[in-house]
């Protein structure tokens, strides 16, 4: 059962081949047996999941089911779940049990889906390797010494290892696409404003966006059908009809114009990766698309601009963790100042502290113009690059990451080496565009991610092209070496 996609499981449940309780129990058993080494879950909701499954079975027999009723899945531990710990990978929130659901959480509940648990992640979604989680690193199912990517490494590893058919995730600079690429699964970061951020713990609010990780584009489309909704509790959520993303998967892509940015095929990209991505592009060309070279001249400035803007926003967002209202509080504070200082010193890890310091510095009166304002100006240039590219092409394709999965501790003492992991993903967030990563090849026995970037609200096209590609290739069906 664990090798089936969400679409297949949904049909199996409807046909009565198995019950949701059986399905849920099957995945819970797999998690219990295998997650001791992978560590992709922070919390497993065994009792809750089984009672949700029982309720789903009743709905199915009453003829009252949606495609998601009774389907097990997992939430990244950044989405608030009423009554279930939501830690965001941090000691700061180790004791936090939200009294409410995120909009994404309640959307899945309304469909009768079954939440198996909450997946591991880099602390407050800051990182590209999942090494910064308070709950320990996640290992990549493709190799026990390899990182799964981050920050949604728990979601990507759990889907790759078939511990859950699908999982929610978030992407601020690449955190859905990069771990999807490194674990050989399919991940989609929607247009900024497509999925509500209400109840999704904030990192950098102008960049954060929730989206799906699944094995296939079809499953990602099914997930986005649930995740996307207008929500007046998120003022940046766009009021716009949610199409049925599954209804356009089988459209022909003949005549579609696809651009390859020359900046994405530079010496920053591993040569073997380059070859694999080119092969994948040829497959898409065979499906009738027209391929042409384009230019996104400010690509190189995306990482430096992001590492001003994201820390600036995080320094403001994380000021709410003060030891007073919720989260970690130090023992026996001397006075208010001591309470703030020690609660934050004890609650946050190194990377989070580094970002808060950089962000507070960039926003300070003397440096605001030199750093923050400048970074915002660069952000506009990056957005303009895409606007002019989309005058000529319908879709942009390139690699998701510069190299396949790397080893633990391999980025050394220099934190900026890790930051370059997102060189191909960050510009999409700065522009607010949708981006997707699908398995597109293998290098040295490890998955290679193919990235697709679309125009605003063009998720249907990304899913359509990905689905057509997955119909003629087999990369998404490869099973990780360590998956039993």
Decide: helix, strand or coil at residue 317.
helix
Judged by CB under 6 A, which stretch of 37-45, 123-131, 216-224, 234-242 contacts ligand GLN?
Answer: 123-131
Residue 123 binding ligand GLN, by CB under 6 A: no
Token readout for 280 is 């994948």
Give how far the C-alpha of residue 131 lies from the chain's centroid of Cα atoms, to the nearest Å.
16
Residue with Cβ nearer ligand GLN (72 or 435): 435
Known catalytic residue at 40: no
Q: Are 256 and 394 in contact (CB under 8 A)?
A: yes
Contact residue for ligand GLN among 23, 80, 126, 161 (CB under 6 A): 126
Of the residues 151, 343, 403, 460, which is catalytic? Answer: 151
Token readout for 398 is 């390139």
Residue 148 binding ligand GLN, by CB under 6 A: no
Residue 125 binding ligand GLN, by CB under 6 A: yes
Give how far the C-alpha of residue 395 lies from the chain's centroid of Cα atoms, to the nearest Å.
20
Interface of this chain with ligand GLN, residues 291 to 350, rule: CB under 6 A: 310
Of all residues in the shown chain, the one whose CB is closest to ligand GLN is 175
Q: Tokens 């290098």 identify what position?
A: 443
Residue with Cβ nearer ligand GLN (200 or 296): 200
Token readout for 307 is 């590492």
Known catalytic residue at 109: no
Known catalytic residue at 295: no
Residue with Cβ nearer ligand GLN (125 or 221): 125
User: Least distance in Å: CB of 173 to ligand GLN?
Assistant: 3
Interface of this chain with ligand GLN, residues 396 to 435, rule: CB under 6 A: 422
Residue 151 binding ligand GLN, by CB under 6 A: yes
Give rounded-to-5 percent helix, strand, coil for the chain: 45, 15, 40
Closest-CA residue to 405 (of 436, 449, 451, 450): 449
User: Least distance in Å: CB of 379 to ligand GLN?
Assistant: 15
Angle subtended by helix axes 217-227 and 459-472, to nearest 10? 160
Closest-CA residue to 163 (of 49, 257, 87): 49
User: Least distance in Å: CB of 473 to ligand GLN?
Assistant: 27
Contact residue for ligand GLN among 69, 120, 128, 225 (CB under 6 A): 128
Q: Tokens 């497959």 identify what position?
A: 283
Q: Residue 42 and residue 35: Cα distance in Å, rounded?
A: 10
Closest-CA residue to 10 (of 65, 51, 71): 71
Residue with Cβ nearer ligand GLN (57 or 131): 131
Residues identified as active-site:
76, 151, 175
Report the interface residues with ligand GLN, using CB under 6 A.
125-128, 151, 171-175, 203, 310, 422
């Amino acid at each position: 059962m664990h090798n089936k996609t969400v679409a297949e499981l949904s049909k199996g449940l409807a046909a009565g081949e198995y019950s949701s309780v059986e399905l849920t129990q099957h995945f819970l058993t797999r998690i219990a047996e295998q997650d001791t080494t992978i560590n992709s879950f922070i919390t497993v909701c065994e009792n809750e999941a089984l009672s949700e499954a029982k309720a789903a079975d009743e709905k199915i027999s009453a003829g009252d089911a949606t495609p998601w009723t009774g389907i097990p899945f997992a939430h990244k531990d950044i989405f608030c779940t009423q009554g279930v710990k939501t830690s965001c990978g941090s000691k700061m929130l180790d004791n936090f049990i939200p009294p409410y659901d995120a909009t994404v959480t309640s959307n899945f509940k309304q469909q009768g889906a079954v939440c198996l648990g909450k997946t591991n992640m880099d602390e407050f979604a800051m990182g590209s390797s999942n090494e910064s989680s308070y709950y320990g690193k996640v290992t990549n199912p493709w190799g026990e010494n390899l990182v799964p990517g981050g920050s949604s490494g728990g979601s990507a590893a759990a889907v790759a290892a078939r511990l859950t058919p699908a999982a929610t995730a978030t992407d601020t600079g690449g955190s859905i696409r990069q771990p999807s690429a490194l674990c050989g699964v399919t991940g989609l970061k929607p247009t900024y404003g497509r999925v509500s951020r209400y109840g999704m713990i904030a990192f950098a609010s102008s960049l954060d966006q929730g989206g799906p990780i699944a094995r296939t584009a079809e499953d990602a489309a099914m997930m986005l059908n649930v995740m996307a909704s207008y929500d007046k509790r998120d003022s940046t959520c766009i009021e716009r009809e949610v199409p049925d993303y599954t209804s356009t998967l089988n459209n022909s892509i003949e005549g579609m114009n696809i651009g390859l940015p020359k900046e994405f095929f530079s010496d920053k990209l591993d040569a073997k990766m380059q070859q694999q991505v080119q092969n994948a592009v040829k497959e898409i060309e065979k499906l009738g698309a027209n391929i042409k070279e384009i230019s996104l001249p400010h690509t190189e400035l995306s990482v430096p601009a992001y590492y001003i803007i994201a820390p600036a926003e995080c320094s403001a967002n994380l000021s709410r963790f003060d030891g007073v209202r919720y989260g970690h509080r130090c023992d026996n504070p001397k006075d208010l100042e001591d309470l703030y200082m020690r609660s934050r010193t004890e609650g946050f890890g190194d990377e989070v502290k580094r970002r808060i310091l950089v962000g507070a510095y960039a926003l300070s009166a003397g440096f605001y113009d030199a750093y923050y304002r400048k970074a915002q100006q660069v952000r506009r240039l990056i957005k303009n690059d895409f606007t002019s590219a989309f005058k000529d092409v319908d879709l942009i394709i390139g690699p998701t990451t510069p190299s396949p999965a790397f080893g633990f501790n391999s980025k050394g003492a220099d934190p900026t080496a890790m930051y370059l992991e997102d060189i191909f993903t960050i510009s999409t967030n700065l522009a607010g565009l949708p981006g997707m990563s699908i398995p597109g090849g293998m290098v040295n026995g490890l998955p290679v991610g193919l990235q697709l970037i679309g125009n605003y609200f063009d998720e249907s096209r990304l899913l359509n092209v990905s689905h057509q590609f997955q119909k003629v290739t087999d990369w998404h069906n490869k099973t990780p070496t360590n998956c039993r």
